[in-house]
Amino acid sequence: MTYHDRNISRRDMVKAAGFGAAVATTAVAAPMAARAATAPGHQVQYAMVIDVRKCIGCQACTIACKTEFEVPLGKHRSWVEAVEKGTYPDVSRSFLPRLCNQCSEPQCVDVCPTGATYKREEDGIVVVDEETCIGCKYCMQACPYDVRFINPRTGTADKCDFCLHRVANGLEPSCVNTCQGKARIFGDMNDPTSEVSKLIAKNPVTVLRQEMGTEPNVYYIGADHADEADIRFANQYVRVDTNRPDEERR
């Protein structure tokens, strides 16, 4: 694994140090502190809470992710969809940031014929081993969230990994770090003192396509689940901008 070898910018290091100091003094639960503070045997499951009420659809996370990983043109590890609903004057427009759900029951892992995709035991992040993957696209078919793509550079499956190279070094994922409205919150779900645990406890949260049984670890607060293809909204004007080359959700 090369996750630890990746260079972290100086700015991030300084920030991490500062953040760490803040944690030490104020005991605010940040992801790295959570991991450091937990007892042995504690199973870390990283999760993200996305407070859609705070999302302004600026796409800063999309761009941060693109630059962090040099994601090839036309592909996205994370992106923000826009949902328009209703007829004037009863209308709404909200945003739905999307990324890999790092499921607790990941079907992509179940179908991978080479074992290239697996869920890390130490932090619950689902990763793709670039050296083992053959690019058969089975995982892309199996993922109910369409978060996987073939990276044209390597020909292997690629997706969001919660910025493992950053998280492993005590930083937050790039999208969380950059989020203007602080709509994305990251942390250990199994640590009751973590920010994500508190938010999940205090708010009604939803996950995407719960009926798929994947047990996602990305939670939404105030998300509009309206979808063009959903018959529940057949008599409503619903338009979903995926902001991706695939103009339809799959």
Residues in contact with other proteins by CB under 8 A are 96, 107, 110-116, 132-138, 140-144, 150-157, 208-209, 211-213, 225, 227, 229-232, 245-250
Tokens 């396509």, residue located: 209
In whole angstroms, how close is the CB of 8 to other proteins at the nearest point?
Answer: 28
* 207 CB neighbour count, 10 Å cutoff: 17
Q: Which is nearer to other proteins, 57 or 170 (CB)?
A: 57
Strand partners, 229: none
CB of 94 to other proteins, least distance (A): 12
110/122 with CB nearer other proteins: 110
CA distance readout (Å), 7 to 65, 68, 105: 16, 11, 31
Query: What torsion, rounded to 10 degrees, do the Cα atoms 13, 65, 133, 113 define?
Result: 110
Which residue lies nearer to other proteins by CB, 137 or 182? 137
Least Å from the CB of residue 55 to other proteins: 15
Question: Whole-number minimum distance, CB 250 to other proteins, in Å?
Answer: 5
Handedness of CA 242, 243, 244, 245 (dihedral sign): positive
- Of 198 and 249, CB closest to other proteins: 249
Which among 121, 190, 110, 113 is positioned nearest to 144, based on CA atoms? 110
Please give the single-letter amino acid code of residue 74: G
Cα–Cα distance measured from residue 167 to residue 56, given in angstroms and rounded to the nearest whole number = 25
Residue with Cβ nearer other proteins (33 or 205):
205
Residue 40 beta carbon to other proteins: minimum distance, rounded to whole angstroms: 30
Closest to other proteins by CB, 26 or 235: 235
Least distance (Å) from other proteins to the CB of residue 97? 12
Contact 54, 181 (CB under 8 A): yes
Classify strands 156-158 and 126-128 as parallel, antiparallel or unpaired. unpaired
